[in-house]
Amino acid sequence: MAAGVTPAPVATALDAELASRFAAAQQAAAADGVELAITSGWRSASEQQRLVDEALARYGDPAEAHRWVLPPGTSAHVQGLAIDVGGTAGAYWLTEHGEAFGLCRRYQNEVWHFEKLPDGAAGCPPLEPDSSGGW
């Protein structure tokens, strides 16, 4: 592992295949001199609800809050099927190279959010504008 690259944290209930795909991408990013780390992975339903509540408090407008965070019942993080990545260069690197590792960016407004390429899919689905469609 290259100096300065933070290893992916072990995340409770993170899908094993998702973690494996990320580890391969992280190694390739490091070979390109790019730091790539998981900043958030699996979340409990209560943690996800806390994020919803914080977004509602921050934005004041539910429609705006819904652009940034999904409820526990539909969040891929709660299912262990999503990761948020950083640093910024790493997120952009993964946007460019993720499909080769079976990782798909999901939302136009969240450069950091990636999910596993759906089973049987030939490629990543088109980006959604934001997460509001999951409400």
Task: Give whole-number Cα distances, 124 to 28, 32, 93, 101, in Å.
Answer: 19, 23, 16, 11
Residue 10 pLDDT > 50: no
Kindly report the CATH number assigned to the domain that includes residue 110.
3.30.1380.10
Task: Decide if 27 is inside a domain.
Answer: no
Is residue 1 domain-resident? no
Number of domains in the chain: 1
Distances (CA, A) of 59 to 64, 67, 81: 6, 10, 26
pLDDT band per the 50, 70, 90 thresholds, residue 118: confident
Q: Is residue 10 part of a domain?
A: no
pTM for this prediction: 0.88
Within-domain flag for 43 = yes
Q: Which domain holds residue 117?
A: 32-134
The whole-number pLDDT of residue 119 equals 85
**Would residue 12 count as lying in a domain?**
no
Within-domain flag for 19? no
In a domain, 51, yes or no: yes
Q: Distance between CA 95 and CA 3 in Å, rounded?
A: 22
**Given the residues 47, 54, 64, 110, the one annotated as active site:** 110
128 as an active site residue: the answer is no
pLDDT band at 12 (very low <50, low <70, confident <90, very high): low
